[in-house]
Structure 1
Amino acid sequence: MSLSDDEVALKIVVVGNGGVGKSSLIQRFATGLFTQEYKKTIGVDFLQRSLSLAGISINLMLWDTAGQEEFHSVTRAYYRGAHGAVIVYSASDPESFANVEDWKKRVSNECGEIPMDGG
């Protein structure tokens, strides 16, 4: 896909422990819908949202990764080529907050120094 000067495509990986709400966060942002039912992500899922900022068309490709340990060998391959990462934790799960630094290291190991935000 060829992009013009006023078009940008960005790959963003969303990582964090299992069950913290990564899929719900992405679905709400990309589609405006929110579901409270928990459905474990198996491997990786993908949603997209297009928006415009200062006259530039931005295509955000949001990669929803499984947080469970058994999927790490599969999901980390999807980190490559990412332009940024969002690290998600749950305020009701102290362990998920304690693991934020581990998630930063995992992303950095695969992607190098890219912008990351946690929350």
Structure 2
Amino acid sequence: MAGAPPRGQPSAGRQARVARQNGSLAKSDKAGNILFALALLACVWFFSVPPEIRRTKICTTDPALAVRVRTECVTPGEWATLVRRHYSSCRGLECVHFDFTVDPATLEFNAKVVEYLRGHEPQ
């Protein structure tokens, strides 16, 4: 057959489609890398603020705000005020203290869940 690509080789049209796809994949890879870097930066920053700020529960719905005395949550604006107050009370690197501790109430709850899943009654 005249003009047909050698056996095992893609046609010129297929090669062009693959090249276009690779171009859009490169763009999406770049966007994905930027998104990943931003998410990683947010996680690192989140662990650099004091646990009192990091462990604060944020209520965003009206029903949650209505019963926030029981849930001890704050609005996003109140949380932002806590963060601003933290950074205004310190200068530079003294604002950063990495703390990877887990809330004791969370540890207790998780231990009960593990005991339940193992088939033992929690104490």
Instruction: Name the TM-score class by shorter chain.
Output: under 0.3
Larger helix share, 1 or 2: 2
TM-score, with normalisation over the residues of structure 1?
Answer: 0.21
- Structure index of larger Rg: 2
Higher strand share: 1
Higher relative CO (CA 8 A, sep ≥ 6), structure 1 or 2?
1
